[in-house]
A = this chain, B = another copy of it.
Amino acid sequence: MAAPEEQMAALSVADGAAAAEGGKPKKEKKEKKPKADKPKQGGGEGVKGEKKKETKLGLTAKKDGDFGEWFSQVVVESEMISYYDVSGCYILRPYSYAIWDEIKNWFDARIKELGVQNAYFPLFITEDVLMTEKEHVASFAPEVAWVTRSGSSDLERPIAIRPTSETVMYPYYAQWIRSHRDLPLRLNQWTNVVRWEFKHPTPFIRSREFLWQEGHTCFATKEEADAEVYQILDLYRCVYEELLAVPVMKGIKSSKEKFAGALYTTTVEAFIPQNGRGIQGATSHCLGQNFSKMFGIEFETEDKTRAHAWQNSWGLTTRSIGVMVMTHGDDKGVVIPPRVAQVQVVVIPIPQAKLGDEAAAAMKERAAAIADALKAAGVRVNTDTRDNYTPGWKYNYWELRGVPLRIELGPRDMEGGCAMLARRDTGAKESVAWGELAARVPALLDQIQSDLFTKARAAFDGCVETALTWDDFMAALDRKHMVLAPWCDEEEAEEEVKKKSASKEAMGAKTLCLPLEQPDLPEGTKCFVTGKPAKNWALWGRSY
């Protein structure tokens, strides 16, 4: 994570004018960029007026008020995102890219343990190959970006930019796989993909280009493929729950909602209470033999017969960072779980004018010593010694960026041989003796990580209602909740729910998933939509 001191420059806010984001280069329309923040003079909390040039920090929108505007502001003001002059594309600034790096490093190590290898396949697909699997291409075709020109010459045939790489990879899998000895073949790549969507773009959550990993694997048997689907799904759950402290529910997608061309799709589903919308966190698909038949991925079995490979594909995107911001952020800014925070602790010395030079120097030295002790204990720490900002302004600055823990070191702390710890998530403070910091801080970071998850889990669980009838279902939806309801598992019923639950104010609901953990379904339970015998419990909701 590199010397945090060095990062200060890049992270610092200009002292002459607020770096009002959202773009100098001319924009295309439609995007809900944060309302332009005019540079404001005057300070945040604790500013005594003596620093005229400080920029007002902070968000004008409230998370429980205009959630969309809050989100746009918080990702920009925290310097995670810059809006870009191609609509639906965003810049991932170092403060958010570092989180992606943490996710990447963790997930990459896990899949390598499973025997997956990384590779890189081209960005481009020829039209012919893209068209090989009809159901698959039909789903992606409207969103495909086409290169038709190089320099000033037209290409002979247009070339597609990958929206996902099944059709890029599988013709080659067909070449590489001949025998059962070539299986399993398990490849992954970390790449950018492009889906030229026309839905409302939102940073992290829905962008026309995004970063992801895509795993593409082949097995000799369905059993092996099935097992991997759920291994990977659990790794995705871990990324959300253990790294990002975001609760998810594991489930299977309805046949209407599954990946185009898949046999079945498993998913981890998250939920945003503020707008009552479910959001797909990551998906792990069993493709069955659909693609292997289309692309001719065949092998000779041990007993010399021919068989088609069983295939999976699975992907996790930078959307995960957006879900994390939505889950933990508050009116002061983002809140980053310690495990993925680039800066876990910021040390802020609080010198006062009346202190002599000697005392100020001692404080500075002590702050450095504290930072060194924490670094030695494996903590990612930054010391904010900038002399052109007040302590209060700095508190706001680091709160906006979601640093999990602040350590204040004031004159009284210097006398008492202690420092004040302030949690970003709860605001709780405690005084800790210098000698105990190296033990207390890592423990407290663990506590914060765990508390963030517990709180979010409680919120998630509080948003799941059970409904047996249409009226109860609609009432729960109107409370912005997810609804667990018995279902006949017929696509027509899902279509009907979508239509009937839509209104002028709200989109229709759909199945988020069929939860892997199914409640009891007593014989005779009826589908809440059709009244037919229910086959399972589905989790429904409005959704991103």
Contacts and interface: CB of A to CB of B under 8 A. Distances in A.
A141 to B, nearest CB: 6
B113 A171 contact: no
Contacts of A145: 147, 149-150
Given A2-B117, A91-B120, A179-B15, A151 B143 contact: yes
A257 interface: no
Nearest to A169: B91
Contact of A122 (B26, B84, B115, B175): B84
A182 B9 contact: yes
Q: Is the interface of A mostly helix, strand, loop or mixed?
A: mixed
Interface string A373-403: 0000000000000101000000000000000
A129 interface: yes
Nearest to A15: B179
Contact of A82 (B115, B175, B182, B196): B175
Interface string A141-177: 1111111111110000011010000000001101111
A245 interface: no
Given A92-B120, A119-B92, A124-B89, A185 B98 contact: no
Contact of A186 (B10, B86, B143, B179): B10
A184 B11 CA distance: 11
A24 B147 contact: no
B10 A129 contact: no
Contacts of A12: 181-182
A10 B151 CA distance: 39
Contacts of A91: 119-122, 172
A26 to B, nearest CB: 7
A231 interface: no
Given A146-B148, A184-B9, A191-B192, A19 B90 contact: no
Interface string A111-143: 011111111111111101100000000000111
A118 B10 CA distance: 11
A392 B15 CA distance: 70
Interface residues of A, number: 88
Nearest to A386: B181
A478 interface: no
| Copies per assembly | 2
A2 B116 CA distance: 8
A147 B172 contact: no
A190 to B, nearest CB: 9
Contacts of A151: 141-144, 196
Nearest to A159: B86
B122 A178 contact: no
Contacts of A175: 19, 21, 23-24, 82
A209 interface: yes
Contact of A126 (B21, B25, B159): B25
A4 to B, nearest CB: 10
Contacts of A21: 175
A217 to B, nearest CB: 10
A10 B171 contact: no
A101 interface: yes
A158 B149 contact: yes
Contacts of A147: 145-148, 161
Nearest to A191: B192
Given A2-B116, A86-B159, A192-B123, A178 B143 contact: no
A490 interface: no
Contacts of A119: 91-94, 97
A59 interface: no
Interface in A270-304: 300
A233 interface: no
A6 interface: yes
A276 B113 CA distance: 43
Closest 6 CB pairs of A and B: A14-B178, A6-B115, A2-B112, A150-B196, A94-B117, A89-B122
14 contacts: A9-B184, A10-B186, A14-B181, A15-B179, A17-B178, A24-B174, A82-B175, A85-B129, A89-B123, A92-B119, A101-B118, A123-B194, A146-B149, A149-B158
